[in-house]
Amino acid sequence: MTKRMGRLMAGATVAAVVAGVAGYAQQRTEAATASANVDVSASVAANCLVSAGSLVFGAYDPLGANDSAALDASGTFSVRCTRGVTAQVGLDNGLGHDGSTRRMELTSGGEYLNYALFSNAGRTTGWDNGANRVSYTAANKSPQTLTIYGRVPGGQDPVAGSYEDTVEAIAEF
């Protein structure tokens, strides 16, 4: 019986050793793990783009219709801003200005035709790049078309020919 007990003990010891080795081997095949957070971030730029437009008055007739009446016209340009951005959109005085008076210059030079720009169809609110700018808040990134209302005052005495000017539209945000 002692012999048998010895064998049982020896068998149990071998079984325990085998189980321990198997358990150790199983632990060695399972990978150790560690973890950490990875912060991911980006920023969205507040930005606006202004696209060119035009305002064409057509023919000014100083001897007929425009002897006393103004020549009115309207034109458009577009502004596109990052959603949620509010921009103040202004118009400078143009290349041919004399102080705050906007003037188109005769393409051959030296002669001028005065005009004014407005932000409303009634032509009562001037549009400049100072106190009279148009506020625009982007609801999305799609372009917003803005209308410029222009007026060439009647009663001017210009030389015959083509007149032009370039006005810069400016979005400040």
- Stated pTM of the model: 0.79
Residue 23 pLDDT grade (very low, low, confident, very high; cuts 50, 70, 90): low
Whole-number mean pLDDT of the chain? 89
Instruction: Give the three-state DSSP class for 73.
Output: strand
Answer with the residue of higher pLDDT: 171 or 25: 171
* Cα 135 from Cα 141, distance rounded (Å): 16
Residue 18 pLDDT grade (very low, low, confident, very high; cuts 50, 70, 90): very low
Amino acid identity at 171: A
Residue 15 pLDDT grade (very low, low, confident, very high; cuts 50, 70, 90): very low
For residue 6, which phi and psi values (nearest 5 degrees)?
-65, -40
pLDDT at 5: 43
pLDDT at 114: 98
